Structure 1
Amino acid sequence: MRLPNWFRSLPTQLALGFFLPIILVTFGLIAAGLYAYQQMTTSLVIDRDRLLATLVAANVSETLDGYAGVLEALASNADLQSSVPIIRENALADAAQALEIFNAGVVVLDKDGKVIAAGSAVQPPGLSPNIFEPDYFPALREEQHSVVSNVLKDPGNGENLIVIGAPILDQQKRFAGALLGGVYLRDAYLGAAVKRLTIGDQGFAYLVDRQGRVLFHRDASKIGVDYSNRPFVDRVIAGESGGTYWLDSTGERMVEGYAPVPLAGWGLIVVEPWEAVVAPVQSYGMSLTMTGIIAIGIIAFLLWYGVRRITNPVRRLAEATNRLAAGEVVKPVAVGNILEIEILGRAFNRMAAQIASYRAGLRRYLGAMTKSQEDERRRLARELHDETTQSLLAIARRLELHQASESDAARLEQLAELQAMLTETLRGLRQISRDLRPLILEDLGLVPALEVLTRTARENNAAPADISLEVSGEPFALSAEQELSLYRITQEALTNVRKHARASEVRVKLTFEQPGVQLVVHDNGKGFRVPSVLAELAQRGNFGLMGIQERVWAVGGSLSIESVPDQGTNLIVTLPLEKRNP
């Protein structure tokens, strides 16, 4: 069965064999990319929250070390072990400024746990000594290093606080008592780092004690709440660090990162709603999907457009070849990425570059030849003027002398004939000298020289009856080489018209206009078929136009010839020049 033509068409085959697989692969990559990005984002967020928890836990630990350091420094004061109460009280009073951080007060216990002194300067009124529960006193006595209590409640005002204790050792390093400081949690510097930490718009951190009760939280009502039922709280209290995600009591999915606070046995937990985590993923997914759709649209457009453009490189090569054959300057042709056409294009560009190099060398050669010709013409004109013309003038003078002294009528007639022949010869020599070396071009410039040239051509009996010159635009100065080339081109064009065109009217137009100057020689003669390459004219023995083209090439200009048999000819020369002051 023969398939329908539309199915066998190039666009349909490209769509089925190229476009459809790309669509499937693109959407597959988008789905895989979204899944991988979500997994990677989750892992990075958990790891980030764990690192944040570790950093904040380290900050809290350093703060606790600072609190304990103040107590340990004061506990080493021997006055606190004095049996005289006033000495102990004075020791506490002397350290009042350092003890201001303990906003719930400071007490001194003896080795049996009995309060023997209290910091009245820092202890708020009504502070009950029984808030210093005895649970951590045995730890102070046995381990003899600083300890931190769990969350306590002041029976006097109902506020939550913690107690930090430092052992007092005698000179033999034996336990002699303890120095305890209380810190209310509501305004303690201890939790400043925890309260300041925010992650995005909804993420925050909180601190729990060894029993899982909240020490610090951005919501003050949560302080003292028991979070021990959360699975990761047990792990962080046990000294582990890590991260996870779980569902809270409201069913909201949360991401948690946690790290322990070593000195106190507490845990620092960073929490962030899952929706806040995946919001960038969803935005990325939407962007990725839109990018995929746009990419597919672009591919579809390129597929449709590429079918039409597949032959454009060949067409550009053909056009460039025609321009190159016509003698125009051809820039390297860009032929796309099709291998076979690219190879053809590189070969063409190499050929064009070689031809351009050859033409550049030819231009230099023609320039040198033209300069040599002009130098030789100047030399001949000078010799004709300085030698031949002067000799003829001397002969003419001698003839005049002979005429003055001769009385024979026959001889006088002969001398007159010789005088006339000599005068005509001198006129011809002067014309040849002017043609060889147009002094008016050097003295007055291009426009006056062309006026003289057209007038002289008009006075020639073999020339067309009507030869005119038109100058358009404001004339500006050209280099001597450019002016001489335009003069010689006009001279050669008028000669060609006189010899071949059989024209009754010739118009020479010189236009000065940025970015250059243009010379147009138009005749209404018989015209001719313009070959694609002017070199064909040389093969026929017609070298005039070839000479014009060589002069144009020598000064970097361009030549265009428009002619139709029996409809005249236009010769157009353009020199691309920048305008200069006249």
Structure 2
Amino acid sequence: MRRHLLLIITFAILLPALAVLLVSGFGLMQHEWAMESVARSYVQDMAENVASRLAGIETRKWGSELTSIEIRRFRVFTWGPSLPGWVAVVAADGRILFSSPGADNLAAIWRPNIPIGRAVEIKDREGNLYTIAVNPVSGGDRYVIAAVAWDQLLGPLVRVGRLWPILILLMAVGILLALWALWKWLIVPLRDLVEEIETLRWGKDLPALPDPVAVSEIGSLRTVLYRLARTAVERTLLRNRYVNDIVRVQEGEKSRIARELHDGPIQNITAMIQQIRLSRMAGNGEGMHRHLAIAEETAQVVVRELREMCDELSPPWIDLGLEQAMTELANRLARHYNIFISMDVDDSVELGRERLLSLFRIFQEGVSNAVRHGQATEMRAEVFRKGEAVVFEFHDNGKGFEPDMNYETLRVEGHRGLANMLERMMLVGGRLEVESVPGNGALVRCVMPDIPEAAAV
């Protein structure tokens, strides 16, 4: 049923309207028949009543010999019928012998072929409808004509009856216009939208802008669809950039490690090999011992450099716990960046390796950004418990900046350091807050739920 919803809506509008039209048309016909029956019965009864009363008057008194007193006996000829209409008595040659008030338009509606004894409808020259009945008076040479105008007897009903066709026509036109508008401004735009959605490659294509022909709701739907599609495209671009960033960082890290190995351990190993060769050439004397001592010293340097590289890739002091790990990291970063760092750790706080490693990397990135971008010389760091959360925050004395912590904006604008920090906190179920004012340093706050490590794992 839902697949044919538009067709159902169309019929839901059309069928009741057709039912109204049919009922209205049938009612109009019944109305016409009822008015016709009332008018015919009225004039037929009036003609028969007057004819029967006139039958008692002697024939010799007809015409000019009928006195005014005798005419007054028939109030219908002096005052008119008690209901709208008029009555006239005519001779066989068509002369009007006498009539009630209002019979002046008899000539306008008289027809030679009007049937005797039966009421019929006749229109005058102006199109007004009359119901007329002709009844013979006893003797056959006189006739009583009774007539009534529909406007007089059934004036309001007639006017309403005349309005019915106009109202029905207006209703029919309104229904057709409504169906046309529904088809043009709703159904067609919806079909176009469905076809466009079916062919839309989500994350790659953008739909058309709002259709000016469609109703506002369809336009709003198109606007929302356009925004969603644009967001999907932006997310796709962002994901591609993110993947490229990851690949670029990985390749850069590989290049850095290769460069460090080439400039450090490999050179020292080459020098050590050279010393070993020289010791062979020197024989068993003092020269051999001197070259071997230099080779041993060089080997120790190589081991120390390799150990430092391993410590940088996977810090072993993380296993010592939160306080020792963060203190050792602060000391190393202070020596490396030539910055004073104070670290205060609440000894009651415990973190698992995953969350500790996140704080570890965030602190490395924060110190690097503070020195490189903010020219900071001092930093205060603290880990403490606040309510049901563990908070790690550090504040530098650098130049500061205006932070925007929208992840997508950070990625798009190239602030990969802050984006990585924010992502690390989201991965461990925490949040990252940055407060900074230009000229007043920056405060970075990491807030994580204080949950048991077994539940965190």
What is the TM-score when the length of structure 2 is the normalising length?
0.38
Larger fraction in helix:
2
Q: RCO (CA 8 Å, sep 6+): is it higher in 1 or 2?
A: 1
TM-score, normalized by length of structure 1?
0.31
